[in-house]
A and B are shown apart, each in its own frame.
Chain A
Amino acid sequence: MNDGDFGRGLISDAEWRTPSVRWGVGTLQVLLLVGLVIGGLGPILWLAKSAITPTIDTITHPMSLFPHGSAWSNLREAWSSVHVGRYFWNTIVIAFGSWASQIVVATTGGFALSVLRPKYAKLINGLLLTTLFVPAVVLLVPLYIEIVHPPLVHHSFIDSYWAVWLPAGASAFNVVLVKRFFDILPHEIFEAARIDGAGPFRLFWSIVLPMSKPIVGVVSIFAVLASWKDFLWPLLVLTNPDIQPLSVRLPAIQSQTSLGVFLAAMFIACLVPIAGFLIFQRSFLRGSGLGGAIKG
């Protein structure tokens, strides 16, 4: 990946020195960069600009830069009078709970299947992998009915965050990812710990978990991001507007307020994922590559 590798790739150093390749490929790369800036960054910059532009200017001159000054009041109004602040908090609470349930299921499950390895591990593995092939839509209706009329418990979980938190834990992708990571940990260490008298709980808490920070980090990032992005499921099970997350509220906010305030609300909704991406860029990109590797 570092510069030293170049010359051994698609374009050799000798080729890179010929003017036609250098200029041809170079031009294409510059064009790609321009395209990526316009396409990738452009819409977000436009959103940032419009979040602090008076509604009337955004409607009449969407592509002009502050023709009649800025309107920082959009952001303030979105945060307080449209209650984006509350929905923002709801989103964080939902993301945190979903993260916790995914981490608990993935680490304990991965530990049991990879390190403790009971005889029936194969069966559970098979069942887990099957769920990877079942399209999510198949679960939608029965899961909804299960939340409205849960078996055994006679109490509807509609409008409870548990209805979002608990199903989030059933991510086979996470378990497979964590299990594969545990599989390549040096198992001699586990044997040594056992001989020193460490039981499974001690092994899990003091040895395996501290060693698995990288994979827990990747799973955490994707868990929080997925929860922040989720729309349909919270829309179905959280019917009370006061407890809904931002993604569910945004379509409703659009009809309740002016365009400027609405765009400010959307901008606020983007801030956390974008900031997270900028901070954890490496993990994001590595994680996506991992996703491809596992799916492959």
Chain B
Amino acid sequence: MTSSRGLSHVREVPRRTPLTWVRSGGLTTVLFLLPLLFAFGAFSWYPIVRTVIMSVQHTNLVQPATWVGFQNFRNVWHDPLFPIAVKNTAYFAGLALVFGYPVPLVAAVLMSEVRKRRGIYSALAYLPVVIPPVVAVLLWKTFYDASSTGAFNTILGWVHLGPYPWLQSQQWAMPSLVLESTWANAGGTVIIYLAALTGVQTELYEAAAVDGANLWQKIWHVTLPQLRGVLLVTMILQIIGTAQVFLEPYLFTSGGPANATLTVLLLIYNYAFGNSLGGDYGNATALSLMLAVFLALFSLLYLRATRSWSTR
């Protein structure tokens, strides 16, 4: 490209016309970009813009869409299910953080110091991640069988605990969902931490050892500070991911019992597709936009709040 342009400089004063553009490879470049532009234009950029438009419209796919201003947002805001869904989603994300955030870190630090057959550890940790999520959820649903002969209740029965109602109790349904979700996702985080741990500068460990630091002091003053950036990113990614939890509440409990596991995404699904008479697409897009804006603001605040800490 540069060479042909260089030649044209010699022959004549370069003027940008469609013909020179084609000759210098502009058209071929566009041809190569065509699949990307089509895929993203049609299935990413256009739908994003469309969401914003639909959130201020009333659409039922039969009549032409009508402009309703912020009515959809008001509908969602005053829906009695809205605060329940928000509360449940926050509860899920919070529990997932408590259950799922420290475990991969501890596991990864221990695994990085395994001296023989480390591959077995990472393979075992990653195995649940490759199981199709639908299979994982339905399998755990079988485990969570509330009768005394359910798999989990049988195991707990050996030590004279239970039987527990698991998914059938308002109190235990959400923790049960979080437990499965942690099992299904922790392996991916372990692998990310393992990769990050190989990047810790070994000189720092040696320097710490020279200064007389013991193992705990090395973990606390070298390993964790060196992982700071990755730890902060995995935390925000986990929060963004768990705020969009759908599969677990949908397949485990359909949001029940008594809306105890109704999450924001499930509510969006119910608005749009839950009613066989026709979806309320306006409310659904309004709520998904509210969630997206909230997550964006939350991430911004999070990045700002942790900036000084992550780059220190």
Contacts and interface: CB of A to CB of B under 8 A. Distances in A.
Q: Do A and B bind each other?
A: yes
Interface residues of A, number: 103
B87 interface: no
A220 interface: no
B25 A143 contact: no
A137 B291 contact: yes
Interface in B132-175: 132-136, 138-140, 142-143, 145, 149-151, 154-155
B251 to A, nearest CB: 6
B183 A39 contact: yes
A63 B240 contact: no
B28 A201 contact: yes
B244 A136 contact: yes
Contacts of A33: 120-121, 124
B123 A281 contact: yes
B247 interface: yes
A138 B289 contact: yes
B175 to A, nearest CB: 17
A3 B43 contact: no
A46 B131 CA distance: 14
Contacts of B183: 39, 43
A281 B191 CA distance: 12
Interface string A117-161: 010000010011001011111111111111011000000000000
A108 B33 contact: yes
Majority SS of interface residues in chain A? helix
B289 to A, nearest CB: 7
B48 A131 contact: yes
A21 interface: yes
B202 to A, nearest CB: 4
Contact of A36 (B30, B125, B230, B296): B125
B94 interface: no
20 contacts: A8-B205, A10-B205, A10-B223, A25-B113, A25-B215, A29-B114, A43-B128, A44-B131, A111-B32, A118-B30, A131-B44, A134-B44, A137-B265, A138-B292, A140-B268, A225-B130, A229-B134, A231-B247, A285-B122, A285-B191
Given A10-B112, A105-B36, A232-B246, 4 more contacts: A137-B291, A140-B284, A200-B28, A250-B134
Interface of A: 1, 3, 6, 8-12, 14-15, 21, 25, 28-29, 32-33, 36-37, 39-41, 43-44, 46-47, 59-63, 101, 104-105, 108-109, 111-113, 116, 118, 124, 127-128, 131, 133-146, 148-149, 166-167, 169-170, 172, 175, 194-195, 199-201, 204, 225, 228-229, 231-232, 236, 246-248, 250-251, 254, 259, 263, 266, 269-270, 273-274, 276-277, 281, 284-285, 288-289, 291-293, 295-296
